[in-house]
Amino acid sequence: MTAVKTRCLDKSNQLWQEAQETILSGCQLYSKGPETHIQGVSPIYIDHGKGAHVWDPDGNEYIDYDMGLGPILLGYQYQPVDDAVIAQLRRGMGYSLVAPEEVAYAKLCIENIPSAGKVRFLKTGSAATEAAIRIARAYTGRKYILRGEYHGWHEWTTAAEGVRQGGVLDEVRQYVHKFDYNDLEAAEAYFSQHKGQVAAVITEPVILDAPKDDFLNRLKALCHENGALLIFDEVVDGFRFGIGGAQAYFGVTPDLSTFGKATANGMPLSIVAGRKEIMEAVDKKIFISTTFGGECLSLAAGIAVMHELKHKNVTKRIWAIGEKLQTTFRQLAEQIGVPIDLAGYPCRLSLEYTDYAGRRDWLYNSLFMQECVKRGVLLGWHVFPCYSHTDEDIDVTLNVFEDAMRVYKKALDSGNPASFMEGIPLKIVLG
Ligand SMILES: Cc1ncc(COP(=O)(O)O)c(C=O)c1O
């Protein structure tokens, strides 16, 4: 049995009151906001982190699994990355001319990412996917885009979401179609509907479910038969699956790919990578240009992350942690008899909750997350193992998972699971 921690959340709650008065929508990333956690039970803010642990402003400590929503691959305050950033800080954050770090980092990308014949650097995942689409449209001279799950907040992605459509031009919507991962037939149908007009398919190489029936190779063939480009959005998968991303893991090289979150262990750095011939063909046609694209602190962090991935057993360790979590979680769920799964690949896991009839409801996510956070394990969208999760962290977490499962079962068995909520359940509109 793990102890339920007595926690005060006053400072978090006070900050949120102030944020609502001062910040549009209260925070900068929807998925970090209180709607995606249990208001009244979860902290709203994190004050600092070290290793795989974080502390809220009221001083409560948690083992973190959302890892900054993906960026923290190595750990908070990870020494080699922090040292590289501090050394760079002493020399300058960015100059009036190009910095040599851009060339050093570009060479590392080209050496390690299969689809990287040439690269460009940006700050966010959204900027990288936007650039990839701009390149694909410029290269093919076509308008239509077939897209998978979430790819960012810009117009062509938001247009296909169906929620929060304020400020999005209706005209944009017609050029973007969304299809489900592994649904090759849906992609084929869109290609037939817009013959000779599809510029690109953009998809994550993998989310949770494995590619079925050689999905990735067949999607690539479908694109090429139709003169379109295949873009892998590796903003989440990249570096987490290994230094070459999920494209190296699955052995399928796309025409273009995008990297973001884990690129620089928390520093803002994203990459659009592409076949040299494509990048050179669009070079003089296209305008991608941004002041902070070559900002040096992030490049120094990116170089340090590459170094860690190349020279330490980071990838192996991350996968081993994920395997331990997933295997033991599944055994516990089976033993206790709860319909919860820790799904996905060991380096990128996510919890899937249902009732006994297999029905999903945010209430079920809320219940489990509530019981974990009360015991010092902070869950969000994903379960991302990081290089700094210790064996002890994993053992504590699995004990917490076991206790949370027992409460979950009791709640389902009671016929009134909502009565087990101590805070406000999740109210998610995106995701
Ligand atoms: C697959 C994928 N692509 C792109 C993005 C956008 O990245 P950012 O939030 O850095 O703009 C995200 C963000 O979660 C993502 O999950």
Are residues 329 and 387 both part of a single domain?
A: yes
Are residues 34 and 129 both part of a single domain?
A: no
Are residues 104 and 253 both part of a single domain?
A: yes
Are residues 57 and 109 both part of a single domain?
A: no
Are residues 70 and 102 both part of a single domain?
A: no
pLDDT of 73: 98
Query: How far, in Å, is the centroid of ligand 1 from the Cα of 259?
Result: 9
Instruction: Report pTM.
Output: 0.96
Structural domain for 384, as ranges: 10-76+314-420
Number of domains comprising the chain: 2
Residue 308 lies in a domain: no
Query: How far, in Å, is the centroid of ligand 1 from the Cα of 32?
Result: 13
Does ligand 1 lie within 6 Å of residue 344's CB atom?
no
Are residues 279 and 345 both part of a single domain?
A: no
Residue 85 lies in a domain: no
Does ligand 1 lie within 6 Å of residue 157's CB atom?
no
Query: How far, in Å, is the centroid of ligand 1 from the Cα of 67?
Result: 14
- C-beta neighbour count of 307 within 10 angstroms: 14
Residue 16 lies in a domain: yes
Looking at 233, 265, 294, the residue that finishes a domain is: 294
Does ligand 1 lie within 6 Å of residue 263's CB atom?
no
Does ligand 1 lie within 6 Å of residue 124's CB atom?
yes
Q: Which two tokens stand for residue 54?
A: 């974080």
The domain that holds 348 is classified in CATH as 3.90.1150.10
Does ligand 1 lie within 6 Å of residue 34's CB atom?
no
Looking at 243, 262, 294, the residue that finishes a domain is: 294
Are residues 276 and 189 both part of a single domain?
A: yes
The domain that holds 126 is classified in CATH as 3.40.640.10
Residue 81 lies in a domain: no
Are residues 286 and 346 both part of a single domain?
A: no
Position in ligand 1 atom list of the atom nearest CA 260: 10
pLDDT of 430: 64
Looking up tokens 């055994």, which residue turns up? 331
Query: How far, in Å, is the centroid of ligand 1 from the Cα of 1?
Result: 37
Are residues 69 and 108 both part of a single domain?
A: no
pLDDT of 429: 66
Mean pLDDT by 10 residues, the chain (431 residues): 87 95 92 92 97 98 97 98 98 96 98 98 98 98 96 89 86 94 98 98 98 98 98 98 98 98 98 98 96 97 98 98 98 98 98 96 96 97 97 98 98 97 85 49
Q: Whose CA is nearest to atom 8 of ligand 1?
A: 125
- C-beta neighbour count of 18 within 10 angstroms: 10
Are residues 321 and 256 both part of a single domain?
A: no
Residues 255, 277 contacting (CB under 8 angstroms)? no
Are residues 38 and 119 both part of a single domain?
A: no
Does ligand 1 lie within 6 Å of residue 182's CB atom?
no
pLDDT of 322: 98
Residue 140 lies in a domain: yes
